[in-house]
C-alpha cells in the first residue's frame, strides 16, 4: 500500500501520492541562541506508475539556496508550505531518483487546529513533535503517513547540548565548540514520527541491558532524576508484557525524553516518546501515559494508518494497551475501566464516528475512549484466547506496514467464532454508543 494512494481526505494538500521516498538523509547545523537552522536534505525516491513531469514536497518558510534532482537543477517554487519541483526532464514511471535541497532559516512550528506543531524553540534548546502535520517545519518531506522511509539524521550543535532522536546513535564527534551527532533509523518511518530533542539533560538506562532485551534509555533534566526513576520504574515490565502480547518490539531501541518544560500531552515518535515535566510527579501518577506511549510503538508507529481518518486504530489500541497494563500489573481490570469509560461517554454527545471522526475530532478524547471500548467489545466477542491471538497477529502481520479500518475488521473476523460484522459496524461506523460490552 505504499505505492499509489489517494490524497489524505483530512489534509489534501499534504503529501504527493505520485511517488514515494524510501530514504532521507538530513545533515543539519543548529544554533539554539538565534534559533538558526542550516540543512541539507537528500531524498532517495521512486516514481509511481505514471511519468512524473513535476512533484511536490511539503516544506516550511526557509530560504533555499540550491536544489538538485539527479544532480541537475530543476525549476521550483516554494509557496504556502508546498515546494513544487519540475525536473529538467520528466522522470519515467517507476524510476528511482534523488532530490537534494540546501536550505537555511529560523524554523517555526506549523499552525494547526491543535496549536503549533513541529519544531518548537524551547527556553534552552529545541523540540520536534510533529503529529499530524508538523514535519515540514524543519525539513522537506512527502508528508503523508503512508509514505514510510528510513532515516539518517546528522545534527551539529554547541557541545553543551545533547541531541536525541529515534534510532541508533552511530557517531558523536566533537570539534572545537560543537558536536555532531549521527543517528540511523532503518525502520520505515512516516515523516510525522521523526522526533528530535536538542537540550541539556542526563542520560539513564532503564532495565538491565545485559539481559538481551530492547535497550531502553531516558534523557531527563538532572533535577528530575529521582522522581523519573520512580515514575518509569515499571517501563521494562511494560515492555515485557507488550512483547508477550504483541510480538517483539518493532525497533532496535526505545528512548524516553523528558523536556524541561510542560507539555500538554506526551507525544510518540519512532522508537522514542516525549514527555513534559508535568508528567513526572514521583508518584507514578501518569503511569498509564508511559504505557500508552510505549504501546504506540506497535500501534501507530510500526503498524501505521494509511491516512488520518483511521487514527482510531492508533489511539484506540494504545488506550486499550493502558487497560491491559493495568489489568496485568495488579490495577483495575479492563472491564472496570471499560465501565468507567462507557459511563462517561454515555453522558456526552454521540456525534463521533470512529472510522471517520473528521479532522476537527481526530484527537477528541472520546475517540480514544470509544476506540478502546470497541477493542474491548471485540475481546468480549472473541474470548481471550482468540482475542490475544488476533491482537498479536495484527501487530505482527502488519509490522512496518500500512493499514486501514476495513483491514482491521477483516482481520478480526478471521478469529471470530461467529459473525461479528454487526458488532463492529455498531462500534466503528455508527454514532450511537452501543451497550457496555461484558467480559
Q: What are the boundaries of each domain within the chain?
A: 19-119+126-192, 202-297, 305-428
The whole-number pLDDT of residue 208 equals 75
Contact call for residues 261 and 126 (beta carbons, < 8 A): no
Is residue 345 classed as helix, strand or coil in its secondary structure?
A: helix
The whole-number pLDDT of residue 7 equals 79
What is d(CA 326, CA 331) in angstroms, rounded to the nearest whole number?
Answer: 5
What CATH number has the domain spanning 305-428?
1.10.390.10
Which residues contact residue 132 at a Cβ distance below 8 angstroms, ignoring those fewer than 6 apart?
11, 112, 117, 145, 192, 308, 311, 362
The whole-number pLDDT of residue 348 equals 97
Q: Phi-psi category of 267—alpha, beta or left, where left has phi over 0 and alpha has psi -120 to 50?
A: beta
- Residues in the chain predicted with pLDDT less than 50, given as ranges, are 1-4
**β-pairing verdict for 96-105 and 36-47:** antiparallel
Is the preceding peptide bond at 132 cis, omega within 30 degrees of 0?
yes
Q: Which CATH class is domain 202-297?
A: alpha beta
Cell of 6: 489517494
What is d(CA 363, CA 278) in angstroms, rounded to the nearest whole number?
Answer: 20
Strand partners, 20: 46
Q: Which CATH class is domain 19-119+126-192?
A: mainly beta
Contact call for residues 146 and 5 (beta carbons, < 8 A): yes
Q: What ranges in 104-199 are assigned the alpha helix state H?
A: none
What is d(CA 349, CA 435) in angstroms, rounded to the nearest whole number?
Answer: 15
The whole-number pLDDT of residue 5 equals 53
The whole model's pTM is what? 0.96
Cα Rg of the chain, angstroms: 22
Q: What ranges in 310-420 are assigned the alpha helix state H?
A: 312-328, 334-346, 365-382, 384-397, 405-413
Contact call for residues 131 and 192 (beta carbons, < 8 A): yes
Strand partners, 400: none
Which residues contact residue 275 at a Cβ distance below 8 angstroms, ignoring those fewer than 6 apart?
256, 257, 258, 259, 263, 266, 286, 289, 293
What is d(CA 230, CA 173) in angstroms, rounded to the nearest whole number?
Answer: 33
Amino acid at each position: 500500500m505504499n505505492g499509489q494512494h489517494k490524497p489524505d481526505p483530512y489534509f489534501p494538500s499534504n503529501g504527493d501520492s505520485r511517488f514515494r521516498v524510501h530514504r532521507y538523509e538530513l545533515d543539519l547545523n543548529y544554533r539554539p541562541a538565534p534559533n538558526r537552522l542550516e540543512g541539507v536534505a537528500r531524498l532517495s525516491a521512486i516514481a509511481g506508475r505514471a511519468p512524473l513531469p513535476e512533484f511536490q514536497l511539503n516544506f516550511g518558510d526557509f530560504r533555499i539556496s540550491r536544489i538538485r534532482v539527479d544532480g541537475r537543477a530543476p525549476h521550483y517554487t516554494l509557496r504556502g508550505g508546498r515546494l513544487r519541483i519540475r525536473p529538467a526532464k520528466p522522470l519515467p514511471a517507476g524510476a528511482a531518483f534523488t532530490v537534494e535541497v540546501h536550505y537555511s532559516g529560523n524554523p517555526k512550528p506549523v499552525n494547526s487546529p491543535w496549536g503549533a506543531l513541529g519544531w518548537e524553540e524551547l527556553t534552552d534548546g529545541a523540540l520536534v513533535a510533529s503529529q499530524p502535520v508538523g514535519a515540514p517545519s524543519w525539513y522537506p518531506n512527502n508528508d503523508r503517513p503512508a509514505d514510510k522511509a528510513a532515516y539518517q539524521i546528522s545534527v551539529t550543535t554547541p557541545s553543551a547540548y545533547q541531541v536525541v532522536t529515534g534510532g541508533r546513535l552511530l557517531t558523536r564527534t566533537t570539534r572545537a565548540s560543537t558536536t555532531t551527532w549521527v543517528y540511523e533509523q532503518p525502520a520505515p518511518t512516516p515523516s510525522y514520527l521523526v522526533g528530535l530533542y536538542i537540550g541539556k539533560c542526563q542520560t539513564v538506562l532503564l532495565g538491565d541491558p545485559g539481559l538481551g532485551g530492547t535497550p531502553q534509555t531516558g534523557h531527563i533534566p538532572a533535577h528530575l532524576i529521582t522522581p523519573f526513576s520512580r515514575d518509569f520504574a515499571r517501563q521494562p515490565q511494560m515492555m515485557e508484557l507488550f512483547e508477550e502480547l504483541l510480538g517483539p518490539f518493532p525497533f532496535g531501541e526505545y528512548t524516553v525524553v523528558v523536556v524541561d518544560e510542560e507539555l500538554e500531552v506526551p507525544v510518540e515518535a519512532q522508537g522514542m516518546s516525549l514527555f513534559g515535566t508535568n508528567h513526572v510527579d514521583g508518584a507514578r501518577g501518569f503511569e498509564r501515559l508511559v504505557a500508552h506511549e510505549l504501546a504506540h510503538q506497535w500501534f501507530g508507529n510500526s503498524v501505521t494508518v494509511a491516512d488520518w481518518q483511521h487514527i482510531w486504530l492508533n489511539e484506540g489500541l494504545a488506550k486499550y494497551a493502558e487497560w491491559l497494563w493495568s489489568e496485568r500489573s495488579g490495577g483495575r481490570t479492563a472491564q472496570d475501566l471499560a465501565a468507567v469509560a462507557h459511563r462517561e461517554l454515555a453522558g456526552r454527545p454521540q456525534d463521533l464516528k470512529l472510522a471517520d471522526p473528521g479532522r476537527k475530532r481526530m484527537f477528541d478524547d472520546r475517540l480514544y475512549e470509544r476506540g478502546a471500548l470497541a477493542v474491548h467489545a471485540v475481546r468480549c466477542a472473541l474470548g481471550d484466547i482468540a482475542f490475544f491471538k488476533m491482537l498479536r497477529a495484527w501487530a505482527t502481520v502488519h509490522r512496518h506496514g500500512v493499514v486501514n479500518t476495513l483491514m482491521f475488521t477483516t482481520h478480526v473476523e478471521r478469529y471470530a467464532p461467529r459473525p461479528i460484522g454487526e458488532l463492529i459496524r455498531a462500534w466503528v461506523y455508527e454514532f450511537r454508543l452501543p451497550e457496555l460490552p461484558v467480559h
